[in-house]
Amino acid sequence: MKKLVVVRYLAYITFILIILSILSGEAFAAKSSPENGNRNQYADENTIDTENYENSSEKNRGTESSGSESVKEEERIQTQDRDKYTAYKLERKHTQEELQLQKSEYREAKGDFLKVRNKIQTGKINPGSEEAIDATKVYLNSSISYMIAHLKNVKTNMQHSNGSGAEEKIAAIDESIKRLEAEQAAVKDASSQAELITSVSSVRGIWTNAQKASLAGAGQIVSQKVGEFLEKSENLSGGLEVQIQSLNETGVNTADLQTRLASYNQYIKAAREKKATADSIYEDDTATQNDLKVANNYLRESLNNVNKANQILKVIFDELKGHGFNEIGKVITENDIKTELNNTKGTD
């Protein structure tokens, strides 16, 4: 009998280790915790896009329109942009609040679960007791709820990203949520360790695939936005070169401007190279989760280079503006994408 109890105990400890390793909420909590100063992994790729909502009104106001119909159309577009952005902020606020609620409940359930584990280890309760099973079910259920809240937060950001392939990625997220909800129902009806172990195994597979899809999707959408900026930067660089040359022909010493432009071009080139490396990993169907994290690091380096290029761009513009080249301001405003490096911390 004692041997049987030991076997049950070891089986339960193994079960606990499985749960703690594959359902570690902290593994995904750090990606979405506001108190860590980070955003959800999809929040960052969509930072560029949400600025489009805010900046589009400025662009539209600068568009010359002829006739009352054109004015009405312009106002309609501005209103749509504001409404979309307002709706996005409200939805995002709701999903983040839900995420924090589930995080709190997860941590509480985990604490209770660990207390039960300690009771089992000290022989105070049986591994198959009702108390042990109930604590495990509550912990497993809260873990799944936390996962679902995370995926819904991801989905909210992706719905407003306007990136290519977003619909397909959203459909994949919906499928993962549906499967997790099915496992949640199975956990509720479970009455033994064996049934719970089956659920844990299923959840592990669902969550692993969902995490991989989230990492790849986030990276690809950010990369697309960066690519759009880099494409515009080529024309911008050419325009700056013409302006600097024109200024030089008036007798102004443009050595510093030329040096800054060369630095700008170098940062843009480095950004392209890092982006290309990241893209090659995102496009690899066999890429592992660790591979995707490496790709996200490359993309973060690309964004860092873009940010540095933008800082130089502003200096060049200010100096040219001092010499009367105000017309280039419109070009820079339209191409200036604010990409602070910390906007990508959530893509880990």
- CB neighbour class for 179 (10 Å; exposed up to 12, middle 13-18, buried from 19): middle
- CATH of the domain spanning 223-347: 1.20.140
| d(C-alpha 238, C-alpha 261), whole Å | 10
- SS3 state of residue 160: coil
pLDDT for 343: 36
Gap between the Cα atoms of 27 and 24, Å rounded = 5
Q: How far is residue 243's CA from residue 241's CA, in Å, rounded to a whole number?
A: 5
Residue 231's H or E segment, with its range, is helix 193-248
pLDDT for 260: 93
Residue 182: CB atoms within 10 A of its CB come to 13
Query: Number of C-alpha atoms within 13 angstroms, CB side, residue 302?
Result: 27
Question: Residues 307, 303, 83, CA angle at the centre, nearest 5°?
Answer: 85
Residue that has been written with the tokens 């041997």 in this structure: 3
Q: What residue ranges of the chain have pLDDT lower than 70?
A: 1-67, 161-164, 325-348
Domains of the chain, by residue range, sit at 2-33+42-218, 223-347
pLDDT tens sequence across 95-108: 889 999 999 999 99
pLDDT value of position 164: 63
pLDDT at position 163: 61
pLDDT at site 271: 93
Residues near 301 by beta carbon (within 8 Å), at least 6 away in sequence = 270, 274
Q: What's the start-to-end Cα distance of the chain, in Å?
A: 49
- The length of the chain is 348
d(CA 266, CA 91): 40
**H runs (alpha helix) in the chain:** 2-22, 26-32, 41-45, 47-61, 68-121, 130-159, 166-189, 193-248, 255-282, 289-322, 328-335
Query: What integer pLDDT is reported at residue 228 of this predicted model?
Result: 81
pLDDT the model gives residue 223: 86
pLDDT digits (tens, 9 = 90+) for 213-265: 888 877 887 888 888 888 888 778 888 888 888 888 888 898 999 999 999 99
Amino acid at 224: Q
8 A C-beta contact, residue 309 and residue 268:
yes
| Three state DSSP letters for 122-154 | CCCCCCCCHHHHHHHHHHHHHHHHHHHHHHHHH
Tell me the C-alpha distance between 99 and 222, whole Å.
23
CA 4, CA 129: separation in Å to the nearest integer?
A: 15
* DSSP 3-state of 33: coil
